[in-house]
Amino acid sequence: MPRHARTTPPTRATGSTERRRPRAEQRQDQPRRPWLLDCYLLRSTDALAGAVLAYAVPLIVLQLTGSAALTGTAFGIEWLPRILAILGAGPLIDRYTPQTSAFTAAVLRTAATAATLLALVLGAGAPAVLAYAVIGGILTQAGTLATESLTSEASRKAGPDGHKVQATATAIDQVAQLVGPVLAGLLLWCSPVILLTAVAGLCAITALQALLLAEAHPRPRLRLVTDEPAPSLPRQLAAGTRTVARTPALALLITGLASGNLVSGVLLVATPILTQQRFHHLAEASTGIWTASALASLAVVALARRTIAHNGLFRTGAVAAACASTAALAAGAAPTFPLYAAAVTAMMAAEGALAVVLRTGRARLIPAAGFSSTLAATIAMTTLPLPVAGTLVAAVSPNDLQLVVIASAIFQAVVAAACFTGLARHRAVLDAIPSTTSADAAQPARAAASGTRKAA
Cβ-contact 205, 45 below 8 angstroms: yes
Q: By C-alpha distance, which of 217, 286, 250, 227 is closest to 382?
A: 250
Predicted pLDDT at 231: 54
Burial class (CB in 10 A: 0-12, 13-18, 19+), 160: exposed
Q: pLDDT of 12-29, one tens digit each?
A: 444 444 444 444 444 444
Comparing 238 with 7, the larger pLDDT belongs to: 238
Question: At 313, which helix (H) or strand (E)?
Answer: helix 286-333
Q: How far apart are CA 95 and CA 430, in angstroms?
A: 29
Cβ-contact 142, 215 below 8 angstroms: no
Q: By C-alpha distance, which of 256, 226, 239 is closest to 361?
A: 256
DSSP labels, 379-427: HHHHHTHHHHHHHHHHHS-GGGHHHHHHHHHHHHHHHHHHHHHHHGGGH
Q: How far apart are CA 353 and CA 314, in angstroms?
A: 12
Q: How far apart are CA 398 and CA 204, in angstroms?
A: 37
Buried b (16+ CB within 10 A) or exposed e, 266-290: bbbbbbbbbbbbbbeeebbbbbbbb
pLDDT higher than 80, residue 429: no
Helices 371-383 and 337-365 cross at an angle (nearest 10°) of 160
- Could you tell me if residue 20 is inside a domain? no
Q: How far apart are CA 251 and CA 334, in angstroms?
A: 33
Q: By C-alpha distance, which of 219, 276, 208, 294 is closest to 71?
A: 276
CA 107 to chain centre: 19
- Could you tell me if residue 31 is inside a domain? no
Percentage with pLDDT > 90 across the chain = 15
- Could you tell me if residue 372 is inside a domain? yes
**Of 106-120, 221-235, 420-434, which has the strongest mean pLDDT?**
106-120
- Could you tell me if residue 223 is inside a domain? no
pLDDT higher than 60, residue 446: no
pLDDT higher than 80, residue 335: yes
- Could you tell me if residue 344 is inside a domain? yes
CA 31 to chain centre: 25
- Could you tell me if residue 226 is inside a domain? no
Confidence class for position 219, pLDDT limits 50, 70, 90? low
pLDDT higher than 90, residue 326: yes
What one-character DSSP code corresponds to residue 166?
A: H
Dihedral angle at the C-alpha atoms of 225, 227, 233, 239, nearest 10 degrees? Answer: -30
Confidence class for position 329, pLDDT limits 50, 70, 90? very high
- Could you tell me if residue 420 is inside a domain? yes
Q: How far apart are CA 308 and CA 314, in angstroms?
A: 8
The chain-wide mean pLDDT, for the chain, equals 77
Domain range for 293 is 36-217+233-455
Query: Both ends of the chain: CA-CA distance in Å?
Result: 82
Predicted pLDDT at 127: 86
DSSP labels, 228-294: SPPPPHHHHHHHHHHHHHH-HHHHHHHHHHHHHHHHHHHHHHHHHHHHHHTS---GGGHHHHHHHHH
Predicted pLDDT at 356: 84
Q: How far apart are CA 381 and CA 251, in angstroms?
A: 10
- Could you tell me if residue 380 is inside a domain? yes
Q: pLDDT of 375-424, one tens digit each?
A: 777 877 888 888 888 888 888 888 888 899 999 999 999 999 999 999 88
Average pLDDT over residues 254-267: 89
Query: pTM for this one?
Result: 0.65
Cβ-contact 409, 264 below 8 angstroms: no
| Total structural domains within the chain | 1
Q: pLDDT of 280-318, one tens digit each?
A: 887 667 778 877 887 888 888 888 878 888 888 888 989
Q: pLDDT of 32-84, one tens digit each?
A: 446 778 888 889 999 999 888 888 888 888 888 878 788 888 887 777 777 77
Predicted pLDDT at 123: 80
Domain containing residue 64: CATH number: 1.20.1250.20
Give the C-alpha distances (Å, rounded to integers) separating 182 from 177, 287, 291, 344, 362: 9, 6, 7, 17, 31
Predicted pLDDT at 442: 41
